[in-house]
Homo-oligomer: A and B are copies of this chain.
Amino acid sequence: MTIPGPDTAYGSRRGGLTVARIAHLAGVSAPTVSKVLNGRAGVASETRRRIEQVIQDHGYRRQEQTEPGTPVVEVVFQSLDSPWALEIIRGVSQVVRPRGLAVAVSEMCGQLTPDDAWTQDVLARRPAGVVAVSAKLTEQQTTQLASRAISLVILDPSGEPAHEIPSVGATNWNGGLAAARHLLELGHRRIGMINGPAELLCCRARLDGYRAAMDAAGIALDPDLVRVGPLYVDGGRTEAMALLALPDPPTAVFAANDLQALGVYEAARLADVRVPQDLSVVGFDDLPLGQWIGPSLTTVRQPLLEMGATAADLVLSLADGRRPEHHRIELATTLVIRDSTTSPPARRTATKHRRR
C-alpha cells in the first residue's frame, strides 16, 4: 500500500481530468468548475454536486496552482470541550510553528463527520494539510481534499480508517491490558470497566486489552462489571453508581478515560466509598487534572503531545509530496501509578499489607 502524493486523488486515480474536461462532462463552464475546486460561493448546490461527482468518478489533474494556499495546518475536533484537545493543539503547534505555519482549530459540534460548511471553508482556504481528530470523513470529503492537494491525517481514528488515509493513534489495547494487570497484581479480582461508546475503535481496543488481562489471570468476565457510557464525567458517575449498587460490587474500576474516572470519584463520594481504600480507580489519557485531584489518579498515559506532533509531521511530509514509510503509527501508552490504586480491602485486612 502506498500513500498517494498530494498531486493525485486518494485511491487508484493517477491521471485525472483537467478543469476543461470536468466542465465538459458536468455541462458547465470552466470558471464554475474553478469556483467549486476553490470552495468559492455562487454555484447552485445541484451544479456543485454534479461537478463533485465528476471529480469523484474520474479524479482531477491539478495543474501548477496559480495562488498559494493558506500557510496553516487545520486541526478539526469533534468538540473542544475536553482538556485533551489542548494537548493535541500544543503538539501540532510544536511541529508547524518552526516552519512558519499556524495551527487553525475548528470543532464539529460533537459530530464525527464535519459538515459541508466546514468542507467548503477548508477548500476555500487551501491549508497545507488537515489533521482530523477522531473524525470520520466521508469518501467525498477525502476526495475533495485530495483533489485540491490538501493532505489529510486522521488522529486517533474513531473507526477503521479507509486504509489509504494515514493515521496516528496510541496502543490502546496495551493500555487496557496494563491497567487491568496493575489491578490484578494488587490482588483485585472483581474489576469493573466503564467503557466509552463501542463505535469508537480506541474504546473497543481498551476493552479488549482489559479482557485479555482478565483471561490471562484465569478470571471469567462478569458481564455485570462491564458498562458503557459517554466519555465525560457524567458518564463515569452514572455507570460507577450502577457498579457500586451491585450486590457484590467491584473493588476496582478501570475507566476508559480520565473524565470518566473523575465521575467514578464522585460516585464513590456519594456512596461513601473511599478511594483507594475501598475502591481503586484507574483512568486513561493522563490529563493534567489527574495530578490536581485528590487522591491523584493512577492512569494510562497517552502521549497526546507526541501524537499531535507526529500527525503534524506526517501531514507536512504528505504536503511536501513525500510518502511516509508508515501510514499507520501507534505511539506507546504507559501506566502511571499514583494514589488512586491499592490492594483490595479484604486482602489488606488478611495480609496487613497496605501500599500507603
**Interface residue? A56 (CB, 8 A):** no
* Residue from A262, A263, A292 whose CB has the most chain B CB atoms within 10 Å: A292
**Interface residue? A280 (CB, 8 A):** no
Closest to A293 in B: B293
Tell me the bound Cα distance from A93 to B104 in angstroms: 10
Tell me the bound Cα distance from A255 to B107 in angstroms: 32
CB distance from A258 to the nearest CB of B (A): 10
CB distance from A137 to the nearest CB of B (A): 17
**Interface residue? A202 (CB, 8 A):** no
Closest to A94 in B: B107
Which residues of B are found within 8 Å of A241, using beta-carbon distances?
Answer: none
Contact B292 A262 (CB under 8 A): yes
The contact string, 1 if C-beta is below 8 Å from chain B, for chain A 74-93, is: 10000011010110011001
Which residues of B are found within 8 Å of A103, using beta-carbon distances?
Answer: 104-106
Tell me the bound Cα distance from A124 to B72 in angstroms: 12
Tell me the bound Cα distance from A264 to B143 in angstroms: 52
Known: A86-B86, A97-B106. A124 touches B71 (CB 8 A): yes
CB distance from A134 to the nearest CB of B (A): 16
Looking at the complex, which one of B100, B263, B265, B288 makes contact with A81 (CB distance below 8 Å)? B288
13 example contacts (A-B, Cβ-Cβ < 8 A) are as follows A70-B102, A71-B124, A80-B89, A80-B93, A81-B288, A83-B83, A89-B105, A90-B107, A93-B106, A102-B106, A102-B121, A104-B104, A262-B292
Instruction: Report A's interface with B, CB cutoff 8 A.
Output: 70-72, 74, 80-81, 83, 85-86, 89-90, 93, 97, 100, 102-107, 121, 124-125, 127, 233, 259, 262-263, 265-266, 269, 288-289, 291-294
